[in-house]
Amino acid sequence: MLGFSGVVFLGFVAMLALHRNGSIETETLIDSSPQTVWTILTATDDYPLWNPEISRVHGQLRKGNIIDVC
């Protein structure tokens, strides 16, 4: 069974796979509190720790902003 980090990773991979026209939309059911999910998703400095495909994330996580994922 996947742990929480595995579920988040799979959700992120699904978002990348569904990438169209510079935007990403997806839906994933995560069995955890919204606060826990938000804390993990907004800790962009930690992305390389659980996703080897990402070396850094640059940009502010705000609606309408462009985020550079390398």
Residue 27 — pLDDT band, cuts 50, 70, 90?
A: confident
Residue 33 — pLDDT band, cuts 50, 70, 90?
A: very high
C-alpha pair distances (Å), 70 with each of 26, 33, 35, 56? 20, 28, 26, 5
**pLDDT given at position 6:** 75
Among candidate residues 31, 40, 36, the one with its CA nearest the CA of residue 61: 40
Read off the DSSP letter of residue 59. Answer: S
Query: Does residue 20 carry a pLDDT above 70?
Result: no
Alpha helices in the chain (DSSP H): 4-17, 34-41, 47-50
**pLDDT given at position 32:** 92
Among candidate residues 21, 2, 12, the one with its CA nearest the CA of residue 53: 12
